[in-house]
Amino acid sequence: MRIGVVAPARRLAPETAARVTALAEAYPGEGAPELLFHPQCFLACGHFAGTDDERADAIVEMANDPAIDAIWFARGGYGSARIVGRVMPRLGAAARGKSWLGYSDAGTLLGALYGAGIGAVAHGPMPNDILLDGGEAAVVRALDWLVARDPATLEASIAPGTLAAAFNLTILSHLVGTPWLPDLDGHVLMVEEVSELLYAIDRAMAHIAASPEVRRAAGLRLGRCSRIEDNDIPFGETELEIAERWCAEAGIPFLGRADIGHDAGNTVVPFGDPLISSR
């Protein structure tokens, strides 16, 4: 299996790519995948891994290459929103046969791909996660999904015949009102957050709860909200209480917690029906 790695947001360090490559080369079972890190991953242009055109062109190049089986987003940060409109119209037939994996900022691209019916799209760990505490297990989990579609990688509540989707909460909020928000009708929607104030989590929940598209979801699960920053005065609610309150106001069933987040325990959530996404 050949997996193309691209960086739609921030730069990936070459030494990080080397660590992930070594882990992939030792992969057991069905055979070690070949990781192809696009040179764009290592570019630097201010905050980004290259210019907007360089990042978009790298994704399109690898997505349209029929010799590559999957696209793995290198890391998050910020950047996908700047290039999604440059990527989507240029994807050809080869892109539709690929697996796509990432999370965080890459959720903008995952949502657009899923909405357009392009490939088998999934939320899950990325190469840069090897830097996390316990990160090697996260990277292996991603490979287990990409290479073998191992059901042990999936978020525990996922069941065949159900529809699911997973996003960073802020990214989902920013997708509302754009062409890149997929149809979430009947989906169990899972959200997680990192490095935000509680009032920012509340604001994002207020936005998605007001969205007619989100209100058509079958329910919402809250993943981990980590590294929550301190407000100048106590906010007065936890992230769980915030999610429960907005779901109640919007008429969206609150289904409990989800095992996703910006940490090494982040599990895989295929968009749509996992039976279809596993093919």
Reported as a single tens digit per residue, the pLDDT across 123-156 is 999 999 999 999 999 999 999 999 999 999 999 9
SS3 content of the chain, % helix, strand, coil (to 5): 40, 20, 40
Regarding whether 143 and 173 lie in a shared domain, the answer is no
Is the predicted pLDDT of residue 218 greater than 80, yes or no?
yes
28 occurs within a structural domain: yes
What domain range includes position 223? Answer: 164-257
190 occurs within a structural domain: yes
Regarding whether 58 and 23 lie in a shared domain, the answer is yes
| CATH label of the domain that carries residue 233 | 3.50.30.60
More confident residue, 187 or 273: 187
What's the pLDDT tens digit per position in 14-30? 999 999 999 999 998 76
Confidence band for 277, pLDDT divided at 50, 70 and 90: low
Q: Which residues, in sequence order, are CB contacts of 160 under 8 Å at separation 6+?
A: 273, 274, 275
Regarding whether 214 and 106 lie in a shared domain, the answer is no
269 occurs within a structural domain: no
Residues 185 and 218: their CA atoms lie apart, in Å, by 7
Confidence band for 275, pLDDT divided at 50, 70 and 90: low
264 occurs within a structural domain: no
Q: Tell me which of 135, 155, 175 is where a domain ends.
A: 155
| CATH label of the domain that carries residue 137 | 3.40.50.10740
* pLDDT (mean) for 166-181: 98
Regarding whether 248 and 124 lie in a shared domain, the answer is no
274 occurs within a structural domain: no
**Residue 263 — left, alpha, or beta (φ > 0 → left; ψ -120 to 50 → alpha)?**
beta
pLDDT at position 274 is: 81
Q: Tell me which of 122, 155, 188 is where a domain ends.
A: 155
Is the predicted pLDDT of residue 53 greater than 70, yes or no?
yes
Regarding whether 77 and 26 lie in a shared domain, the answer is yes
Regarding whether 206 and 131 lie in a shared domain, the answer is no
In the numeric block, the tokens 């969205």 are attached to 211
**Residue 227 — left, alpha, or beta (φ > 0 → left; ψ -120 to 50 → alpha)?**
left
Regarding whether 137 and 60 lie in a shared domain, the answer is yes
Is the predicted pLDDT of residue 229 greater than 90, yes or no?
no
pLDDT at position 30 is: 64
What is the number of helices (H) and of strands (E) in the chain?
11, 10
Residue 173, classified by CB atoms within 10 Å of its CB into exposed (0-12), middle (13-18) or buried (19+), is: buried
Regarding whether 25 and 55 lie in a shared domain, the answer is yes
Q: Tell me which of 115, 133, 155 is where a domain ends.
A: 155
pLDDT at position 250 is: 97
Regarding whether 211 and 134 lie in a shared domain, the answer is no
More confident residue, 276 or 124: 124
Q: What is the mean pLDDT of the chain?
A: 96
Could you give the number of structural domains in the chain? 2
Which range has the top average pLDDT, 215-219, 230-234, 271-275?
A: 215-219
pLDDT at position 23 is: 97
Is the predicted pLDDT of residue 47 greater than 60, yes or no?
yes
Residue 232, classified by CB atoms within 10 Å of its CB into exposed (0-12), middle (13-18) or buried (19+), is: exposed
Regarding whether 144 and 53 lie in a shared domain, the answer is yes
Regarding whether 149 and 23 lie in a shared domain, the answer is yes
What's the pLDDT tens digit per position in 86-117? 999 999 999 999 999 999 999 999 999 999 99
Residues 260, 190: contact at Cβ < 8 Å? yes
265 occurs within a structural domain: no
Is the predicted pLDDT of residue 278 greater than 80, yes or no?
no
Is the predicted pLDDT of residue 267 greater than 70, yes or no?
yes
Regarding whether 151 and 171 lie in a shared domain, the answer is no
pLDDT at position 276 is: 60
